[in-house]
Amino acid sequence: MRLATWEAIETVKLNDVPEPQPGPKDVVIDVGACGICGSDVHAYVEGAWIAPGVPLGHEFAGTVSWVGEEVAGLKVGDRVAANPAVPCGTCARCQDGRFNLCNNMSGSGGGFADKVLYKDGTVGQQLFIMPDNVSFEEAAFLEPLSVAARAVDHAEIKLDEPVLVFGLGSIGACVLQVLLAKGAKDIIVVDTSEARREAARKAGAHEVLDPIATDVVAHLLETRGTTTSPYQQSGAIGSIIDSSGAVQVLPGALTLLRAAGVLSLVGLASKDASININDIVQKEIRVQGSFAYTPADCAYAADLIATKTVDLTPLVSHKFNLDDISEAFETQRQTATSIKVMVSPSF
């Protein structure tokens, strides 16, 4: 069978490897679709968090083709979305309930392949059965939608206040979907890509801004108003989620936040940021990272997909056959024209 591995910067290799050899607790999944994640792009472009020979692809869904005798609740032919991250449950962070920060995380990747061996698969925790009316491309959004669910939930967003989202790649687009599902009243999204902005308009964002054509800070101070904070005037934005990783947006974000607002950072950055610490101190802004997701976030995201509460199909901007994996990665790195690139053995 075929399996894609990272070999060097801008080099992904499609290998011929043996079929999986599952055990009694394992599941084999014939891949229906696998999305290219932002972290995959960082690996491809920068060589970040990866080593030669490591299999790629962790946003996958497909059809169960083999079920170990000790696996309950699954049968051959079931259509499943896969949670690739399995916390150990015993480390200090797991004991705190911060399963997303597990120090001994395991799981199953290698979704850019014909088949995936999912070890110790548990229905409702690692593998989620999807109804027939959910496509494999939609189901493959389980992981990024779980990341978005974590970002929104962890920020404790007040849904009746303006919420600002920077970046409309797959995570930012999924953040928008989660905010809509939760009933946020005023969602403002910002991205330089017209393709991504148009997808956000169709999804139902309340205002979509191009930061090249619009001074986002000045515009939102005018349209959403100002509030009084110690020693300075501020905007009236209650919560900001940055999924862009573009550090240049952070000073403006701190200006726009009202006192006691929250800035949630979910996008990975390629360089260090320069910010005014006094803005954070004097306005008592809560700045927090949001990393990956917990099992509860994943279960929530799976329910959103299975019930079609979210509309993920418009986020699939490109589809490639597994044989064209290198072209798929080149397309995903073109942020002006891509949102989510999907790869499948059968496209």
Question: CATH number of the domain at 2-141+312-344, please?
Answer: 3.90.180.10
What per-residue confidence (pLDDT) applies to 283? 94
- Cα separation, 31 vs 28, in Å, equals 9
Q: Find tokens 């599952």 and name the residue.
A: 22
Q: Find tokens 């490109």 and name the residue.
A: 318
* Residue (of 79, 71, 104) closest to 29 by Cα position: 79
What per-residue confidence (pLDDT) applies to 106? 85
| Category of 245 on φ-ψ map: left (φ > 0), alpha (ψ -120 to 50) or beta | left
What per-residue confidence (pLDDT) applies to 232? 81
Residue 193 above 80 pLDDT? yes
- Cα separation, 209 vs 213, in Å, equals 8
Question: CATH number of the domain at 147-289, please?
Answer: 3.40.50.720
Confidence of residue 276 (pLDDT cuts 50, 70, 90): confident
Residue 69 above 80 pLDDT? yes
- Cα separation, 67 vs 220, in Å, equals 53
- Cα separation, 190 vs 219, in Å, equals 12
CATH topology match: 2-141+312-344 vs 147-289: no
SS3 344: strand
Q: Where are the domains of the chain?
A: 2-141+312-344, 147-289
Structure tokens that stand for 258 in this block: 């009202």
What per-residue confidence (pLDDT) applies to 120? 83
pLDDT tens per residue across span 278-299 = 999 999 999 999 999 999 999 9
Which amino acid is residue 291, in one-letter code?
F
Residue 107 above 80 pLDDT? no
- Cα separation, 127 vs 120, in Å, equals 10
pLDDT tens per residue across span 294-334 = 999 999 999 999 999 999 999 999 999 999 999 999 999 99
Confidence of residue 95 (pLDDT cuts 50, 70, 90): very high
What per-residue confidence (pLDDT) applies to 271? 81
* Residue (of 34, 111, 120, 26) closest to 66 by Cα position: 26
pLDDT tens per residue across span 146-175 = 999 999 999 999 999 999 999 999 999 999
In the chain, % of residues over pLDDT 70: 100
Contact 154, 264 (CB under 8 A): yes
Distances (CA, A) of 215 to 161, 221, 247: 21, 10, 16
What per-residue confidence (pLDDT) applies to 190? 98
DSSP annotation string for 149-198: HHHHHHHT--TTSEEEEE--SHHHHHHHHHHHHHT-SEEEEE-S-HHHHH
Confidence of residue 32 (pLDDT cuts 50, 70, 90): very high
Mean pLDDT of the chain: 95
pLDDT tens per residue across span 119-140 = 988 899 899 999 999 999 999 9
pLDDT tens per residue across span 227-273 = 988 888 899 999 999 999 999 999 999 999 999 999 999 998 878 88
What per-residue confidence (pLDDT) applies to 270? 78
**Mean pLDDT, to the nearest integer, of 189-206?**
96
Identify the bridge partners of residue 209 per DSSP, sorted by sequence position: 190
DSSP annotation string for 294-334: -HHHHHHHHHHHHTT-S--GGGEEEEEEGGGHHHHHHHHT-
What per-residue confidence (pLDDT) applies to 129? 98
